[in-house]
Structure 1
Amino acid sequence: MVTCDRYINPLIVQRADPFIYKHEDGYYYFTASVPAYDRIEIRRARTLEGLAHAAPRTVWRKHDQGSMSQLIWAPEIHYIQGSWYIYFAAAPSTGPGPDGLFQHRMFCIACESQNPMAGEDAWEEKGQIQTGLDTFSLDATVFEHANRLYYVWAQKDPQIKGNSNLYIAEMANPWTLKTQPVMLSKPEFDWETQGFWVNEGPAVIRHQEHLFMTYSASATDAHYCMGMLKASVDADLLDPASWTKWDHPVFQSDMAEKQYGPGHNSFTIAEDGHTDMLVYHCRDYTDIKGDPLFDPNRHTKIQPFTWDAAGNPDFGKPVPYNYNSTPAAM
């Protein structure tokens, strides 16, 4: 049985918006926002804890000017139909646009080499992901289900109060939407509207006969927390009525253990091939100077989680810091 003390925590310091993918080659691949917000890097290792010591390889750098020149946020690496893809958000400046929000749009780069660590020359820009709405958008993820590829992301609708809502669409290919965006969730509960009205950072996992979509809500300080949606695997995933939304957070700050603002999660699998792992970022203090987005100390953490009798995930609480792991025999 995989337990929390199996891993050091934080796993990787000063890496926010973490994403870990275990590939069929046996490697774990990791990417995340770097504090300078100026590049995309990948690291890989045979074990999750090995990622803490793996050397990062830069595969893309921000442009000198234009729509991909500032604030490179939340990259995710995926392997789709025999090629590698990284989804990320970028902006033309560090300042807000006319709507008072950052000016991010979503982009994709691709690598046809079977080795995504090959370097910058191996990656090709596929351009902006067009959603039909030219507004603040970020935090895209993709998942395949029933022979269809889906794109899920966060975006601002000028007609809806708040910073961002969650949307889904089917894809024609890994960088082009096939269907019109459908909104699945918007900030509406008190815990989603602290500081800012936010739904962002979606992640999808399947368990038995259901798909679960977690997301993050509120400002990126101690109020940051995770919500969740659920749909049957047989449902029409593009129909908002297919998704049930929790009215309470499923993962949030633990004041007693000084773990604040856990969120922007992803999912992976432990080395045993069975245990589901929650990947997220978190801080260990609340006294943040200035904008929390420019405080570098959101650290990558990982922990196993279980499923309750109803088949829903039980994430527990953010694990305390642990600098002395006790690896189990595999």
Structure 2
Amino acid sequence: MASPDPWMQYYKGYYYMTATSGDSTVRMRKSKTLAGLYNAEFKIVLNHTLYHTWAPEFHMWNSKWYLYFTAGATKDFSSQRIHVAESLGDDPIGPYNFKADIHDDGYAIDPSLITINNGLYLLGSFNTPGMQDLFIRPLTNPWTPNGPKVLLSSPTNPWERTNLPINEGPEPLQHNNRTFIVYSAGACGTPDYKLGLLEFVGTDPINATHWHKNPQPVFVRNDTNHVYGPGHNGFFMSPDGSQYWIVYHANDKPDYGCTNKRTARAKRLDWNSNGTPHFGTPDPIGLQLIAPSGE
């Protein structure tokens, strides 16, 4: 399905999925099975007056959902900022009311939430001179910053600088008391868009030296399977809570670029013997997968 920047949750018997719309709406699909999302219709869960909605995500906090998205006041992408809406109840479909803008001056995209040692933090991507970096920012609650953005990761490795030096799309992944952030690297319009990995190895989440960057990417193109530019992912659990799954977008051809030709795909996430996530190889489109456990 054409769904750039996909993100999912499994909640109370249903899979819920959202993705970049590119217009002034946030949309969501709902299905009892993972495969059923393919034919499920997107329902508009939020209308707003901004342009270019990118990378929406919804996170629960105190029995309500907080819907994060990137959008801007101008058509030229320069004013892309982070915004959040709040659900009236515990249904991911909403309805939602606009809650707050969470940004300072300057370009900021790809919001996500992470909890570390009972502290709540906003993750995202922002511009610094000559490149696009990851940031982390402490929050009092899902809509109120409790400090400035702090630089978390810069695209310093050659594989993070394909066409443009970019780190974006940070996504939390926590397993066996270890905390990881999986992020996208390079320009999204290239077939070499890929995923990198950070691990929290210290005591202070807003100190970049307390994070370790994997020296090599963890999920890359596979020309044999005709999968190009795999990136901008999310994670969700199987219905019985025993399996981690990744959802991500990729292209079928190397020249499709950063467009709506990017399609959402999912696969089971495994774990290496050293406790780090094992992503494996992106599967060819159309491959029949074993359904998530408990479906």
Please confirm whether the aligned pair reaches a TM-score higher than 0.5, indicating the same fold: yes
Q: How does 1:1-330 map to 2 (within 5 A)?
A: 13-23=1-11, 25-34=12-21, 36-63=22-49, 68=50, 70-95=51-76, 102-118=78-94, 122-130=95-103, 132=104, 134-157=105-128, 160-162=129-131, 164-220=132-188, 221-232=190-201, 235-288=203-256, 292-293=257-258, 295-322=259-286, 324-325=288-289, 327=291, 330=294
For residue 162 of structure 2, give the secondary structure of its aligned residue in structure 1.
coil
The one-character-per-residue Cα deviations of 1:291-314 (angstroms, maximum 9, x if unpaired) are x33x21110000012111110111
Q: CA contact under 8 A between 1:48 and 1:271: conserved in structure 2? A: no
Tell me the amino acid that sits aligned with residue 96 of structure 2. Answer: W
Larger RCO, structures 1/2 (Cα 8 Å, 6+ apart)? 1
Structure 2 stretches lacking a partner, 5+ long: none
Taking the aligned partners of 1:153 and 1:74, their CA distance within structure 2 comes to 11
For residue 152 of structure 2, give the secondary structure of its aligned residue in structure 1.
strand
Taking the aligned partners of 2:23 and 2:214, their CA distance within structure 1 comes to 32
For residue 136 of structure 2, give the secondary structure of its aligned residue in structure 1.
strand
The one-character-per-residue Cα deviations of 1:152-203 (angstroms, maximum 9, x if unpaired) are 100112xx321x2111121111111112222110111111111111100000
Taking the aligned partners of 2:106 and 2:267, their CA distance within structure 1 comes to 35
Taking the aligned partners of 1:215 and 1:222, their CA distance within structure 2 comes to 16
The change in CA–CA distance for 1:171 and 1:322 in structure 2 (over 3 A counts) is same
- Correspondence for 1:7: none
The change in CA–CA distance for 1:187 and 1:205 in structure 2 (over 3 A counts) is same
The change in CA–CA distance for 1:327 and 1:215 in structure 2 (over 3 A counts) is closer
Higher strand share: 2
For residue 241 of structure 1, give the secondary structure of its aligned residue in structure 2.
helix
TM superposition shift of 1:316: 0.6
Aligned residues: 293
Q: CA RMSD in A?
A: 1.8
TM-score by length of 1: 0.84
TM-score by length of 2: 0.93
The change in CA–CA distance for 1:255 and 1:112 in structure 2 (over 3 A counts) is same
Taking the aligned partners of 1:287 and 1:237, their CA distance within structure 2 comes to 38
Q: CA contact under 8 A between 1:48 and 1:270: conserved in structure 2? A: no
Identity of aligned residues (%): 30
- Name which one, 1 or 2, has greater alpha-carbon Rg: 1
For residue 50 of structure 1, give the secondary structure of its aligned residue in structure 2.
helix
The one-character-per-residue Cα deviations of 1:90-139 (angstroms, maximum 9, x if unpaired) are 1122325xxxxx32111111112222324xxx311123103x4x111100
Q: CA contact under 8 A between 1:111 and 1:123: conserved in structure 2? A: yes
